[in-house]
Amino acid sequence: MSDISVIGLGAMGSALARALVTAGHSVTVWNRSSEKTAPLTAVGAQGAENVSEAVLASPLVFVSIDNYSATTALFSADDVVPHLSGRTVVQLSTGTPKEAHDSEDWLKDCQADYLDGALMFYPDKVGAAEAQILIAGQKATFERCEEVLRCLGGDLRYLGENVGAAAAIDLAHLSESLGKYVGFAHGARLCEAEGVAADILASTFEEGERARQLAEIIHAGAYELASLHPGASIRVWEGVVQRLQTQARDAKISSEFPDNISGIFKRAIALGHGEEDLAGLIKALRD
């Protein structure tokens, strides 16, 4: 057996697994496309052939995949469910508070413990002192996992037993970011219409500010993802907008904000800019 299994080896999952190996833990990894396991097995991780094998390998299972629905689909398979009993599952994917509550209830029925987490940083910050990790769930479960979680980020925060708390704060931060990004796109279009070049707009922001980076991308016309600066695509952020809409319906609160910006993202994707940097939103506002 290993100490920890990591399911999902995208940029974040791979960084998490590598940090755990570096910290001296024995780690089992699984990913749908098996070629992503090779860099980790090369540094000491053990590759699993399937999800069932990965769950069976360790008492503690970290999940870092696209969404909670994908996790449910993987874990509800007939060859996986029997192995969940006695395990602790830490969900580190992006989801909604309702999905967190539903996951906790389902895994409790499977006799597994559950923590819901939000990673408030990019993969290159895994393990850094300033990397903030939000965790919610049963206190006793958190205390058992606390030492391992601290390998992943120095700013570990336990939010209490309301298992939806981490997802709520994560969505709140994403909502704030979306407001800035869409607001910037409108502002950049405003300057463009007045004949103010994007490089002049960029110069008014501090070096390193995301708004300056967005303006530099527009000035260079280099909208390809990470061509100048790293970031998630318009399509990925459109998924965040959908989560905000879903959570507003679940919580019976106003969905006016995500509803209003949703059209801009959908139009950008329809115009073929879904895989571009967020700076590409300006193209949807030009049309």
Average pLDDT over residues 79-95: 96
Tell whether the model's pLDDT for residue 131 goes beyond 80: yes
CATH superfamily of 167-286: N-(1-d-carboxylethyl)-l-norvaline Dehydrogenase; domain 2 (1.10.1040.10)
Strand residues in 13-57 grouped as ranges (E): 27-30, 46-47
Average pLDDT over residues 30-48: 95
- What confidence tens digit (pLDDT) does each residue in 212-230 have? 999 999 999 999 987 666 6
- Contact between 92 and 12 under an 8 Å Cβ cutoff? The reply is yes
Distance CA 137, CA 117 (A): 9
* CATH 1.10.1040.10 segments of the chain: 167-286
Q: Is residue 98 helix, strand or coil? A: helix
Q: Are strands 27-30 and 46-47 parallel, antiparallel or unpaired?
A: parallel
DSSP count for the chain of H helices, then E strands? 13, 8
Average pLDDT over residues 100-123: 96
Q: Which amino acid is at 46?
A: Q
* CATH 3.40.50.720 segments of the chain: 4-160
- Contact between 159 and 48 under an 8 Å Cβ cutoff? The reply is no
State the pLDDT at residue 228: 65
Half-sphere exposure of 30 (CA within 13 A, CB side): 21
- What confidence tens digit (pLDDT) does each residue in 252-281 have? 999 999 999 999 999 999 999 999 999 999
State the pLDDT at residue 229: 65
Average pLDDT over residues 227-246: 88
State the pLDDT at residue 225: 85
Q: What is the DSSP letter of 95?
A: -
Name which CATH class applies to 4-160.
alpha beta
Higher model confidence: residue 159 or residue 229? 159
Please name every residue paired with 29 in a beta bridge, in sequence order, or none if there are none.
Answer: 6, 47
Share of the chain above pLDDT 90, in %: 93
Q: Is residue 261 helix, strand or coil? A: helix
Query: Which residue has 């909502």 as its token pair?
Result: 175
Average pLDDT over residues 151-158: 97
Share of the chain above pLDDT 70, in %: 99
Which residues, in sequence order, are CB contacts of 2 under 8 Å at separation 6+?
25, 26, 27, 28, 46, 57, 58
Tell whether the model's pLDDT for residue 188 goes beyond 70: yes
Q: What is the DSSP letter of 161?
A: S
Average pLDDT, the chain: 95
State the pLDDT at residue 232: 85
State the pLDDT at residue 1: 86
Average pLDDT over residues 151-176: 97
Confidence band, pLDDT 50/70/90 cuts, at residue 34 = confident
